[in-house]
Structure 1
Amino acid sequence: MNTAIIWDRSDGTTSRESIAKVEKKLGVSFPDEYITIVMNYNGSCPTPCLYKIYGKETGNAYKKIFGYLIPYGLQDRPNFLEEYTVLKKMLPKNVIPFADDPGGDYICFDFRSSDEPKIVYADMEVAVHVDNCTRKERLSGEVEKMQEEALYDVADSFAEFIDNLF
């Protein structure tokens, strides 16, 4: 994993137990590299902080900015579970945000096909809130298809994602 990264504006540390509570509640196991970073740099942002996503139709590369890790247990900011509770109705099941960007979008773990999550970018302007959909859309699976449109593949693993920051 990229050891040249500097984690800025850390809100302190968090315990392994705090992370384990979230993992248990969500039924997932976060990557070890992520856990190590969060335990030491809770709520911080990396330098370098740029990464790329690719347009679905054009394949063109777009630069995005890694904002802040969603924090655990900080009193003055929404914590991980509070943030997830708000966002889960806009994302497919088992897509879990772990960081934001300055534009209000999110970087997420994608646990849908594996216990070793891929990293995806969630464009919240495109994301569809399940409560804004019709009953027919919810029952037909159309909501999931619409939510999928908001996701862009970023990396096959958290370690690869961190290694590719520039």
Structure 2
Amino acid sequence: MKLGIEKLESDLGVQLPEAMKGHYLKFNGGMPVLDWFPMGGDRESIWVHEFLPIGTQDVSMPNIQSIYARVAGKGGYPRTFVPFATDPGGNLFCVDADSGAVHYWLTDTYDETLTDLENRQKADRRLTDSFDQFISSLVSENDAFG
């Protein structure tokens, strides 16, 4: 898996945060047990449906590389944002390879009448300052809504 991470970084031209690399050395994708991100305040928690794998043998299965190839540099989506998980609606959880922050990207907000910057402002929600902080923030459904 270490070679897979190095290849991913090379292919995307980014350096992933160490915490994310460590997570992927243990779990290459999958559905987390603690699968809700609490937004706080009056905003609804977000369901982390699935972590994307790094590469797969099955070309029909989404992975980090295939999702990145589809969205990077389009509609304001920054090339430094590496998607690593999805919600059930296809929105993306991404790590910013430059800052290490985790963002939530709404995929259904694109408006062709807006500039890339305006589309980014509409679609991007910064969640945490780091991948570690994101992982440690995840809670069960009962804790998210109880």
Pairwise CA distance, 1:20: 0.9
| Structure-to-structure mapping, 1:34-73, within 5 angstroms | 34-53=20-39, 60-73=42-55
**Residue 110 (1) aligns with residue 122 (2):** no
Cα RMSD of the aligned pairs, angstroms, is 2.0
CA distance, structure 2, for counterparts of residue 39 and residue 127 of structure 1 = 34
**Residue 29 (1) aligns with residue 15 (2):** yes
Contact 2:37/2:138 (<8 A) preserved: yes
TM-score if structure 1 supplies the norm length?
A: 0.72
Pairwise CA distance, 1:120: 0.6
Q: More strand by proportion, 1 or 2?
A: 1
CA distance, structure 1, for counterparts of residue 19 and residue 8 of structure 2 = 16
CA distance, structure 2, for counterparts of residue 17 and residue 144 of structure 1 = 35
Aligned sequence identity (%): 29
Aligned residues: 135
2:123 counterpart residue number: 150
1:82 counterpart residue number: 66
- The one of 77, 86, 92 aligned to 2:78: 92
Pairwise CA distance, 1:40: 2.0
1:8 counterpart residue number: none
TM-score if structure 2 supplies the norm length?
A: 0.81
Contact 2:64/2:82 (<8 A) preserved: no
Letter of the 2:69 partner, please give it: T
Runs (4+) off by over 2 Å: none
Q: Please, which runs of 5 or more residues in structure 2 have no aligned partner?
A: 140-146
1:9 counterpart residue number: none
CA distance, structure 2, for counterparts of residue 31 and residue 22 of structure 1 = 13
2:144 counterpart residue number: none
Q: Please, which runs of 5 or more residues in structure 1 have no aligned partner?
A: 1-14
